[in-house]
Amino acid sequence: MATVRICICGDESVGKSSLLTSLVKDTFVTEKINDVLPPITLPPGLGTPDNITTTIVDTSPLPQERETLRKELRKCNVVLLIYSDHYSYERVALFWMPFFRSLGVNVPVVLCSNKSDLAPGTSTAQVIEDEMLPLMAEFKEIDSCIRTSAREHHNINEAFFLCQKAVTHPIAPIYDAKESHLRPAAVDALKRVFYLCDKDGDGLLDDREINDFQMKCFEKPLADTDLVNIKKSIQQSFEETFEVPYPVSEKGIDVRGFLLLNKMFAEKGRHETIWIILRKFHYSDSLSLKESFLHPKFDVPAFSSCELSPVGYRFFVDLFILHDKDNDGGLNDAELAALFAPTPGIPSAWIDSAFPGCTVRNEAGHITLQGWLAQWSMTTFEDPRTTLEYLAYLGFEMEGKGTTPALKVTKPRKMRNKPGRVERSVFLCYVLGAPASGKSALLNSFLSRPLNGTYHPTIKPRTAVNSVELPGGKQCYLILEELGELEPAILENQVKLDACDLLCFSYDSSDPDSFAYILDIRKRYPKLDAIPAVYAALKADKDSAVQRTELQPDVYCEQQKVPKPLHVSVGWASISEFFVHLAESATFPSQAFPRTEESKTDRTGLYIALGGSICTAIAVAWVWKRSMLSTA
């Protein structure tokens, strides 16, 4: 529940207390009123908008009460500044506004011309033009202005409503009255709203999309006549500026028309309508998305991981299809730019991982749907906070549940050397091995990239992510990461090791010094023994060389009681089977651990079944015996 504190200021005898009394009594009070009234609190429901509580504080302009005035001004949310004649009007610019500034009071000011009954021949329009607009142009703190009369009970409620609205729906952040245009932050926010409401992505809001927007924001349908009038108003405004093409057509309203409509709301004093729209789309008073919406509470327990849920995958599939305008199965630069338009841009982590080079692309170099889903699977696995943030920017939201239903947390995996399946579908595999052993070529092959014969040492960590189909048809995502020069730091980091599902120890089978590197890192980092591992003899299409180590790779693996190295080559068609083997080893990690002894047969299930059968037989016999006795 919001609270608004209004401080009434102005010179003596301008009618401050009369105005407040007229509000409370709902009529003009002819009896003598105290010079300063005590604070009054209006609870929700008594003419207050947005279910807010309003506290109104009367003040004295006398010098001896100046300290009290300062304290009240520093506590208030809005100032109602009243004048009633030429002298008190001049004092607004000469004393009151400079006084507010000297205190550092950064709150909106509602300017009120009271006692309008004493100038019956003066029109409100003339007062606004001659008195109020010059002050508003000079002092940007003045949010709005109004002409009142306590005696005639004219615009009393409206004056205090303006004060409340200046706090709950401030115009300054969204509209520049001097330049007569929406502020850049408001334009960006409203463009995102337009993007999210344009469900078919054609750049226009058709009648159905406009009505959906109306229901979402205001929870009531838009009458056909109102829709026609809105389009007519937008069209007329653009005709006055001689801009073409027009923002309104038979197909709908474009983003220029949508922005113009909101500008018209601001110009007509209906900026609360703009705030209703922005807040419905989770914008804060600073015109940024609310932190609680961008980053909701979402905990991932130790030894668990985070993945996209089915609705999360469905959202990203629909997003890809919507923006693949040329239907070539890939997102080109323009299509990616349009997709990420309502966001801060492509995630920085993607740029660091050389996106889209880290995932599947088509022949033109554009990310495919397979690569798109793989990329988001990797992002969710590594940093679910980023995925939640972009889900919010891109418009995913389940009513009352926010963005978290798009994600799911896997079951913890603690003892990986015990038989059993790991209940997850995204796996991280560190590819370790000597320089020039073929690790980068292996990652390229995983993404179906052609073999590059030129050797380029890996400096920064490099990642490749793709989907793998396991036997039985289940699909999972495998993240292969080559650590580069950060290998020592990563292998010493327990958090990084806990996140790793599998190690791929690779060596160049044609280089006699390659396997020694594996033996060295296994010796230097004993914590690697707690992670399942697969050994791979790369470049198997070349002549095999005897390794200059005390034990040859096959003998070493036999002694360690782990499967012998798999001989693979990126030039072989069977290389895809190797990636399936990696995914299987991550899914069933016990098969990638040393086997020191044969697992004892678990007869628990047999004993339970046997016990159940015996109990059933006893029960049947007892029932039969009872039935026989009753018959006798």
Read off the pLDDT of residues 171-225 as tens digits, 9 standing for 90 and up: 888 988 778 899 999 999 999 999 999 999 999 999 999 999 999 999 898 888 9
Report pLDDT for 596. Answer: 57
Domain around 92: 3-168
Which amino acid, one-letter code, is at 562?
Answer: V
Q: Looking at the 3D structure of the chain, how many domains does it have? A: 5
- 553-578, pLDDT tens digit by residue? 999 999 988 999 999 999 898 899 99
Same domain, 119 and 153: yes
Residue 118 CA to residue 153 CA, distance in Å, equals 13
pLDDT at 604 over 50: no
Domain boundary among 240, 265, 288: 288
pLDDT at 622 over 60: no
375 within a domain of the structure (yes/no): yes
Distance of CA 138 to the CA centre of its chain: 39
174 within a domain of the structure (yes/no): no
For 503-517, what is the mean pLDDT?
Answer: 96
| Cβ neighbours, 10 Å, residue 267 | 13
254 within a domain of the structure (yes/no): yes
Residue 507, CA distances (Å) to 215, 524, 538, 539 in order:
62, 17, 6, 9
- Helix/strand/coil for 219: coil
176 within a domain of the structure (yes/no): no
Report pLDDT for 616. Answer: 54
Instruction: Name the DSSP class of 429.
Output: E
What's the pLDDT band for 416 if we cut at 50, 70, 90? confident
Closest CA to 427 of 390, 457, 467, 367: 467
The radius of gyration of the chain from alpha carbons, rounded to an integer in Å, stands at: 36
- Helix/strand/coil for 426: strand
Residue 182 tokens, joined: 């929406």
Same domain, 309 and 352: yes
Report pLDDT for 452. Answer: 76
pLDDT at 332 over 50: yes
- 135-149, pLDDT tens digit by residue? 988 898 888 889 999
Same domain, 472 and 328: no
| Cβ neighbours, 10 Å, residue 5 | 19
pLDDT at 247 over 90: no
pLDDT at 124 over 90: no
Inter-residue contact 444 to 555 (CB < 8 Å): no
Report pLDDT for 602. Answer: 44
Same domain, 81 and 42: yes
Same domain, 32 and 151: yes
Domain boundary among 288, 314, 341: 288
| Cβ neighbours, 10 Å, residue 79 | 28
- Helix/strand/coil for 476: strand
pLDDT at 418 over 90: no
Report pLDDT for 426. Answer: 97
Same domain, 437 and 536: yes
- Side-chain half-sphere of 280: how many Cα atoms within 13 Å? 19
Same domain, 284 and 302: no
CA diameter of the chain:
118
Same domain, 273 and 299: no
Closest CA to 404 of 540, 519, 307, 475: 307
For 29-33, what is the mean pLDDT?
Answer: 74
- CATH number of the domain where residue 204 is located: 1.10.238.10
Report pLDDT for 610. Answer: 43
304 within a domain of the structure (yes/no): yes
- CATH number of the domain where residue 526 is located: 3.40.50.300
For 426-440, what is the mean pLDDT?
Answer: 96
What's the pLDDT band for 605 if we cut at 50, 70, 90? very low
230 within a domain of the structure (yes/no): yes
pLDDT at 608 over 50: no
Residue 544 tokens, joined: 């095999």
Same domain, 379 and 523: no
Average pLDDT, the chain: 88
Same domain, 405 and 388: yes
The pLDDT > 70 percentage for the chain reads 91
pLDDT at 75 over 50: yes
Domain boundary among 140, 168, 196: 168
Residue 364, CA distances (Å) to 331, 356, 369, 569 in order:
10, 12, 14, 26
Same domain, 37 and 155: yes
pLDDT at 453 over 80: no
415 within a domain of the structure (yes/no): no
Query: What are phi and psi for residue 393, nearest 5 degrees?
Result: -60, -40
Same domain, 284 and 297: no
269 within a domain of the structure (yes/no): yes
Inter-residue contact 96 to 82 (CB < 8 Å): no
pLDDT at 154 over 50: yes
Inter-residue contact 322 to 201 (CB < 8 Å): yes
